[in-house]
Amino acid sequence: MEGKNVNVKNMIIMGLIGAIIGLFAGAAVAGFFPKMEFLFLVVWGVIIILFAFWGAKMKEATDVKTLPQDGLTKKEQRIAWTFSLINPVITGGVLYFMWSRTYPIKAKQANHISFVAFFLWIALYFFYFWFKLSVNQ
């Protein structure tokens, strides 16, 4: 099975650029439709995903066959944790499907990080509402 080249550095850079552009585009769309605030998040998320995929597909001179099959490096772990804590579902999906063919071990580790971050979000959500209810009584 032959893998695809993925440019992680450009994916992160273009994802951050997409976040900035998406913020303004989402605000503009939400300004035109003031009763539908969720459009802001939809437009913002779609632009981030599109820019990240665009950056991942940018050409860089690497040979897939010579790349190591090791796990995540410390830098990649920090990046995976940072983006997973911001949005674990999208980050986990993007990292897993981006690395699943060429780096299966990295894909699995990044997916585990996003699952842990997702369950942290759920725990914080329930803790917040439990605390809010206990204060109101």
Do residues 108 and 92 make contact, with C-beta atoms less than 8 angstroms apart? no
Q: What is the percent of the chain with per-residue pLDDT over 70, rounded to a whole number?
A: 85
**Please, what is the Cα angle at 96 between 92 and 98, to 5 degrees?**
120
- In this prediction, residue 117 has a pLDDT band, given cuts at 50, 70 and 90, of very high
Q: With bands split at pLDDT 50, 70 and 90, how would you rate the model's confidence at 1?
A: very low
pTM of the model: 0.51
Q: How far apart are CA 116 and CA 122, in angstroms?
A: 10
**Cα distances (Å, whole numbers) of residue 68 to 11, 19, 24, 104, 134:** 19, 31, 39, 11, 52
pLDDT digits (tens, 9 = 90+) for 24-38: 777 777 777 777 777
| 97-105 average pLDDT score | 83
